[in-house]
Amino acid sequence: MKKRLLIVATLLFFVNVFYTSKLQAQNQEYWREGFQSEQGSTLPTTNPTSITTTTNVDYYFSGVGGSWWGRNVYSTTGTGCPVGNNHPRFKNMGTGTFDSGALVTPVVNFGIQEFHFLRARASRTYSIWVTSDTSALTSSWTLVALLPSWANTTCADTTVVIGNATAKRLKIVTRPGLDVDIDSVYLTSVTEILPVKFTNVSASKANGLTKISWNIESEINTANYVVERSINGAIFSAIGSVTATNAGKYNYIDASSFDATNYYRIKAIDKDGSFAYSAVVFTTGDKQTASVTVYPNPITNKLVNVQISNLNKGSYNVEVFNNLGQAILAKAIQFDGGTTSLSLQLPTSVNAGLYRLSVTNGVTKIYKTISVQ
């Protein structure tokens, strides 16, 4: 009897799992995927038992937070939380050649502190895994929790404390031979979730239309992007909105721009109402002199902001050289005319001093001296 108690106690210490409906997330929530249709989930509704006994059902599907991956999982109704909502079911695939069901979350960027979900069937068992490999689906995973069956009320929150600062994805695995239903999956971060980060913003004009484009490096909890326009670069008004979809790159067409100079910026609005602005870019009515601007200069935090204006359309290389003529950073860009603004993060090994920034397409070459503090 004492030996059995020791084994149980050791297991509970190893998995570091807490079951409670009251435990609050220690850090910020990435997203909450309830799998209801109105949340945008495209989890397949096909029952995996329709396949042969030697094939696994593997697929990506879109959902809140980005791309999810499933094996032997499909969307159903009935035992959800609350009853009737769409939710994922890990289908009973038997114990023969079938693998157990698995559900893999989208990639996250600030570690995983806690994993939460609702058990629509409390008597089922689960294993929870994490990985720092953003492309991993079936290998390179670390087991972090073994969840036995639970006698508590169904649809109560199950919380697993992960505490892994480098974890990028989380996987839920179930035992073969059982139907398992879960709902309302969400993760919390280990570190603070940073605001949306713009890496490139551009505006180009052709045939009376202005195309505003922007690239995003990190997009957590972003609700939408508001495109704002100004005729003087000081007072901006909203002209349109684009829903955030974790696409990484967005475009907006302004069909009513003025013949004179038009200034544009993007306002990223988070789901909690907070917001951040991109750099300002502009288009002009008349052809202007080509220019490259670095700001601020001297630069701090090793972040170089570059604005390129009125060059010929085409492919350009942006490079930063040290005083020995060695390239310490290089980035290829596609310039569509007008202006574009981009951010370059210098390596952490770069020392304070003077450096040279080059923008060239092989014919046009523009150089700027930058000072790194």
**Token output for 44:** 């397949």
Shared domain for 298 and 331, answered yes or no, is: yes
Say whether both 49 and 184 belong to one domain: yes
Whether residue 277 is found in the same domain as residue 314: no
Q: What is the pTM of this model?
A: 0.57
Portion of the chain with pLDDT greater than 90, in percent: 21
Mean pLDDT of the region 121-136 = 87
**Does 11 lie in the same domain as 79?**
yes
Domain that holds residue 152: 2-188
- What integer pLDDT is reported at residue 176 of this predicted model? 73
For residue 81, the 8-state DSSP code is S
- Residues 211, 278 within the same domain: yes
Work out how many domains the chain is built from and give that number.
3
Query: Do 16 and 137 fall within a single domain?
Result: yes
Contact indicator for 329, 364 with CB cutoff of 8 Å: no
- pLDDT value at 369 more than 60: yes
Do 366 and 321 fall within a single domain?
A: yes
**Residue 161 exposure: Cα atoms within 13 Å on the Cβ side:** 13
Same domain, 258 and 307: no
370 contacts 353 by C-beta, under 8 angstroms = no
Question: Are 109 and 29 members of one domain?
Answer: yes
205/181 same-domain check: no
**275 and 296 housed in the same domain:** no
Say if residue 274 is in the same domain as residue 246: yes
255-278 pLDDT, tens digit per residue, is 887 777 888 999 998 876 778 888
* Residue that terminates a domain, selected from 145, 167, 188: 188
Of 21-30, 66-75, 165-174, 214-223, where does the model show the most confidence? 165-174
Residue 270: its pLDDT value, please? 81
Q: Select from 303, 299, 313, 298 the least CA-distant residue to 364.
A: 313
Among 270, 286, 302, residue at a domain's last position: 286
Q: Within its chain, how far is the Cα of 303 from the centroid?
A: 21
pLDDT band at 241 (very low <50, low <70, confident <90, very high): very high
